[in-house]
Amino acid sequence: MSALSSPPATEVMALAEQGRQPNAFARWWARSWHPIVFVFAVLILWWVVTELGWVKPYIIPSPADTWNAMADNVPYLAQHTWVTTYETIVGFVIAIVIGLAVAVVMVYSGGLEKTLYPVILFAQVVPKIAIAPLFIVWLGFGAAPKILVAVLMAFFPVVISGLAGLRSVDPEILQLTSTMGANRFKTFAKVRLPAALPELLSGLKVAATLAVTGAVVGEFVGANEGLGYVILQANGNLDTAMLFAALIIMSLMGVLLFGIIQIAEKFLIPWHASKRDLGASTVRL
């Protein structure tokens, strides 16, 4: 074969590299097989412990009893799950809006940062279960106090991650945009916000799970519906199968929100997700 008909060496190397790239399922399995195997190991250990009678059923129910509690009470659990889901999502969205706004204000104003940061830190360290009864007194027994607790739980990770992300921009890039005549809004929209997305989305993953916890904590204090109410009722009746069923649903809700944000991350910052996948593939190879 003549030199004119042979492909360039770079093209051959690119084709060979493409052939070595794992497909989407292989990349997903490389990231997910550890937790999947761990979950199956926990389920097997749970089944063995309860099947051999090492613990009493009123302490830890068997997987079969937990499944039956879920299957036999689908409408009941679905109704209360929807209430907690509504409180969680509304609280989470409010926390994102307020938290990101506060982070932007703190980035652009050093004086406000010195004023707000200690207040935010103080609000974070105060136990939410201790102040939740006050919200019941102020706002009643509706959804508002549960949403407020969810907002307080999710607010701090949003602010801290947003603040760290907005400050992660190279100062030389900011100087360049200022030299080219870009105003603050254009600099924020075109430079700061895209650069902050990796940090911000990481914080949102944490905030999503905390929002679920916040909604349930609010239901513990005073509610007649929601998964927190289901857990309290099951605990009072020593119905550990129903209690475990509610806990599992609550955990799955947090995992689902975490997964939604992770999917959004792939669309909003595909370069960051690709870099992470490439790193996982490199480690595996």
Q: In order of start, what are the domains of the chain with their CATH numbers?
A: 91-270 (1.10.3720.10)
pLDDT attached to residue 154:
93
Q: What is the DSSP code (8-state) at residue 126?
A: S
For CA atoms 21, 25, 28, 34, the dihedral sign is negative
Please state, in angstroms and rounded to a whole number, the distance separating the CA atoms of residues 59 and 250: 20
**Residue type at 246?**
A
What was the pLDDT predicted at 285? 44
212-263 confidence digits (pLDDT tens): 999 999 998 888 899 999 999 998 888 899 999 999 999 999 999 999 998 8
pLDDT mean over 189-193: 83
In this model, does residue 100 exceed pLDDT 50? Answer: yes
Q: Is the pLDDT of residue 282 over 60?
A: no
Secondary structure of residue 127 in the 3-state scheme? coil
Q: Are 84 and 246 in contact (CB under 8 A)?
A: no
User: Is the pLDDT assigned to residue 170 strictly greater than 90?
Assistant: no
Angle between helices 240-268 and 74-108 (to 10 degrees): 40
Which is nearest to 208 in space by CA: 266, 263, 270, 157? 157
CB 148 within 8 A of CB 218: yes
φ/ψ of 237, rounded to 5, equals -95, 5
Q: How far is CA 108 from CA 41, 103, 182, 194, in A?
A: 49, 9, 16, 17
Average pLDDT, the chain: 83
Average pLDDT over residues 170-175: 77
For the chain, the distance separating the N- and C-terminal CA atoms, rounded to the nearest angstrom, is 34
Separation of alpha carbons 254 and 275, rounded Å: 25
Report the length, in residues, of the chain. Answer: 285
CA-only gyration radius of the chain, Å: 25
Q: Looking at the predicted structure, is the pLDDT value of residue 15 above 70?
A: no
What's the pLDDT band for 8 if we cut at 50, 70, 90?
A: low
Paired tokens of 203? 């914080």
Listed residue (156, 174, 153) closest to 164, CA to CA: 156
pLDDT value at 82 more than 80: yes
Q: Which residue has better confidence, 11 or 164? A: 164
Instruction: Give pLDDT, residue 281.
Output: 45
Q: For 180, phi and psi rounded to 5 degrees?
A: -80, 0
